[in-house]
Every structure is written in structure tokens, then in C-alpha cells.
Chain A
């Protein structure tokens, strides 16, 4: 199977690989997938206390090239977004941007799930605190 240039680019030059301190209250961490399934994605966001925007995002992924590219792309898209906007990122947009073939759609689903899990983690941590002015419903 041939990979799209965009997948290759994210694979060879992944954006925002790394980790934030999970314990940091301004950080939301989402870990989805399982090693037995061949894919584990960890996606983290850091929220700016003043603006409430996602100021930074990082990922680490165990999975195929499409899974790596999906999560790398997700971190790019997350930066500068509000949590509401981030909740609206759909896997189909990732599929489209990376030209993923049908067998790789689940890799993009994983990225969407990871985003949602990270947001949820952040919100759970900050329940009742000022950082979450309007708590979001997390439906997955």
C-alpha cells in the first residue's frame, strides 16, 4: 500500500512528539487503544490559564504510520483552539487531510478518541475550578 505524501511527512517529521507532566492541573491526558490491538495513542493538551485556549499539545503513538500521522496532525490542529472547537474535530477531517484509505480509518478514529479523552481528563481534573468556566458535556 502506498502512503500519501502527508502521511509520510508526519511520519518522518512528526510534530509535537513528547509528554507533559500528567499531574499538572493545566494538562489533559488521553490514552486510548491497547498494545494487544497494535495501537496505543497518548495525546496531551495544555490549557492557558488566562485564555482558556489550548496552548500546546503533544503525542506519543504506538501504531502504524497512519496512526502516527493522525495523532501528529491532531496536535497541530489542537493548538490555539478552545475546548469546544477541539471537541468538534472529527476523524473524517483527519481521513480527508491525510488521504487515509478505508482500512486506516480506525487510526483516525483513535485520534479523535484521544482528543476527547484528553479534554475529558482536563475537565475532570478541573471540575469546579475557574479554568472550566462552562463545563462541557463529553459524549463519545
Chain B
């Protein structure tokens, strides 16, 4: 073990990220000195805060090819998704009641859609292929004259798969349907451009891009077309009336700084992450067999590696690598005792969903950490396979799918 290695290791960067020290630095004065209310128009405290907010708006806009004026600050992507979906549904209800999304969206998209279904909307949940992708053709076929919104995530949080946003955006544009994307995982990690991709609404959150928790944004297109939304909350009419509430200035400054950094670092970071991820994958597979890659082999987030370790249960695996923070699609780790619906949707059998581990590499991941994780994973898998009745049967040449299990 290298002397510089600090345990535990955080390798769960799809769940959240460490706030970059440069981001923290930028935020600090807005807690202590520049604590004005950005809506105070008549004194310098307010002006300083407002100026900081407007500059953050520009920083966020620049990262996604939008103008700062099109950025609405929210409390995070859950709110952004709710605002986009319910806000559009409510505003355009007269035009139609049909929404199209995918079966592998985050709950912050699926659950607002389910609520709308209870309120009389119709929602199409497009299935995905074995890599987790929807095709633009599927979207085109699902659009009816009642469709008002298509919501497709930019990158999946579990398996990292990227969606063909530009092609979907072009179809939506041609058919006069609004296009929303939950780009939480993609922004700052892969190129995202609302113009090139025909995106009308885009959700992002600061804590996934090395910014603070509790701060997000919704991009709302202002022209071609001008998108309108019904607000979720009534109040002071902040953020063009779409999101009332005193602006969380320190967080907003943090999001702005995080976006600017991400824009500067994205390309070099991508190269670094791809190298580290390859090292991790190669290191593990060099010594262990029966490992499946979940998600797309190429079109995926550079920091995401989702593997199924056959014959080994995910939570037990996490216990074996307890100095490493990762996550699993196993039912044993979830409150619902259901395996990951994303893995189910891409046709990974339940038994392999239980065996999945998501490694989320990030800006602060080091080569020494990767090497440590490789050793831990190999040790844990060997330990657990030694204990696994499934592995034993597999070695005896028994096809597990033909066994009549005594389900309980």
C-alpha cells in the first residue's frame, strides 16, 4: 500500500462528489462578508450578491451552450426535474396530455411522471436496449398529436450509458414537442450543448460536479421556442416567476465556480478517467473470470464502471471491500429488497443484478487508489466465491438456470 493512500477511498462519484476546494474557496465570502439578499435592489449588500448570482448564471449557461438568462436556480435536480415535467404539463395541458420518457430514468423523473398519470396524463416509458439506450426512432414512433414533452436522461446514473440526445432533440424539434433532459450525470463530464442537441429544458445539480449539495439549476429555453412553465411554489416571483424563494447565494456561487472549473478541466479529466477506468477494469479482469460489464462499452460516462461479479452477492462484496465506498444494484442494499430496475431494464438477469457493483471514478481518484481497489476486489471476490454454492455448482458444470430452486 502506498504511503499516500488515505482510507476509506471514495469511489462512488455517481452518487455525489467532493466539493472542489476551489469551489469552497469561491463560496466562503458569501457566507461571511457578502451575505446580502440578491433581491435587495437598494444597497450594496444586495448589489454584490446579485452580481455574484448573475455571474454564476453565466458560468452555468456557458457550460451547456446556453445564455445565463435561461438558467433558473433550484434546490437540486430533483426540483429541476419536477419543475420541468410538472411545470410543462400544467402549462401545456390544453395542448396535450402525453409525455414520453424512458424506463431507466432517475426516480426524480419517474415519480413526477407517475403523479401526472394519476392526474390524467398519459406517459409512455420507452424500453431500452441491452446497453441502456433508447433509439431516436423509438421516440419518433411514440410521439402522437397529444405529446407535449419528451424527457430522456443524458447519461444514466447507474450504468453510465449516454443517450443520443442530438438525434432525439432533432425529432422533437421537427414534431413541435418540448425536449427535457436530466443531464445531472453528464454535465461537465461529456459535451452537452443545448443548441446542438435541440434541448429545451435541462436539469443539473451542483453536487455531482464537485459543487455543493442542495443547489441545482434548470435551463429553460427562451427562444425557438420560448418555453413557459407553471411554477411549483408561489411566492416572491424570483427567477422569472418560475422559482420563488430567496436565492441561495453561496450555493449559487459554488455551482457557478464548479461549472467554470468543469468546463476548463473536462477534456483532460476525461482522458485521465478513461485511463484509470481501463486500469481498474484490466486489473480486475486479469485475475477474475465471470465478470459482466453493465452498460455501453464505449458510449458511457468516462468515470463509470458497472460490473457484475457472478456468483457473488453485491452487499457481501461491499462488505469485503469495506475500505472502498461503491454502490450496488443488489436488492440486499436497497430498502425495497428489489434489485436495480435499471439493470432489469437492460436485461441483466436478477441474479447478476444482485451481483453488480458500480465504481464511480472522479476528479480526485488516484492511480494508487485504483491499484488498492483492484487488490481489494480480487481478494473479496475470491473469498466470497469460495463460500458461494453457485460458484461451486458452476465449477461442477451445472447450468444454474436449469436448477429448480426452492424459492421462498
Does B349 contact A36, Cβ atoms closer than 8 Å?
A: yes
Does B389 contact A61, Cβ atoms closer than 8 Å?
A: yes
Nearest residue (CB) in B for A71 is B387
Does A37 contact B390, Cβ atoms closer than 8 Å?
A: no
Does B387 contact A68, Cβ atoms closer than 8 Å?
A: yes
CA distance in complex: A109, B392 (Å): 23
Interface centre among B331, B392, B407, B408 (most CB of A within 10 A): B408
Name the one of A11, A14, A31, A65 contacting B389, with C-beta atoms under 8 angstroms. A31
| Interface bits B331-353 vs A (CB < 8 Å: 1, else 0) | 11001010100000000011100
Nearest residue (CB) in B for A40 is B389
CA distance in complex: A41, B390 (Å): 9
Does A38 contact B313, Cβ atoms closer than 8 Å?
A: yes
Within 8 A of B (CB), among A43-79: 59-65, 67-68
Does A60 contact B392, Cβ atoms closer than 8 Å?
A: yes
Q: Which residues of B contact A127 (CB under 8 A)?
A: none
Does B316 contact A68, Cβ atoms closer than 8 Å?
A: yes
Q: Which residues of B contact A139 (CB under 8 A)?
A: none
CA distance in complex: A64, B316 (Å): 4
How many contacts between A and B, using CB within 8 angstroms? 91
Nearest CB of A to B163, in Å: 28
Q: Which residues of A contact B392 (CB under 8 A)?
A: 19, 42, 60
Main secondary structure of the interface of A (DSSP, over half): mixed
CA distance in complex: A32, B316 (Å): 18
The yes or no answer to B330 lying at the interface (CB within 8 A) is: yes
Nearest residue (CB) in B for A60 is B389
Given contacts A33-B408, A34-B405, A34-B406, contact A40 B316 (CB under 8 A): no
Does B388 contact A65, Cβ atoms closer than 8 Å?
A: no
Within 8 A of A (CB), among B114-137: none
Given contacts A40-B389, A42-B389, contact A35 B339 (CB under 8 A): no
Q: Which residues of A contact B389 (CB under 8 A)?
A: 31, 40-42, 60-62
Q: What are 26 inter-chain pairs, A to B, with CB distance below 8 A?
A: A8-B319, A11-B316, A11-B320, A17-B386, A17-B387, A31-B405, A32-B406, A34-B407, A35-B351, A35-B405, A37-B331, A37-B408, A38-B313, A38-B331, A38-B354, A40-B390, A60-B389, A61-B387, A61-B389, A62-B389, A63-B313, A67-B313, A67-B316, A103-B335, A113-B408, A117-B406
Which 6 residue pairs spanning A and B have beta carbons closest together?
A35-B351, A34-B405, A38-B354, A36-B350, A42-B389, A60-B389
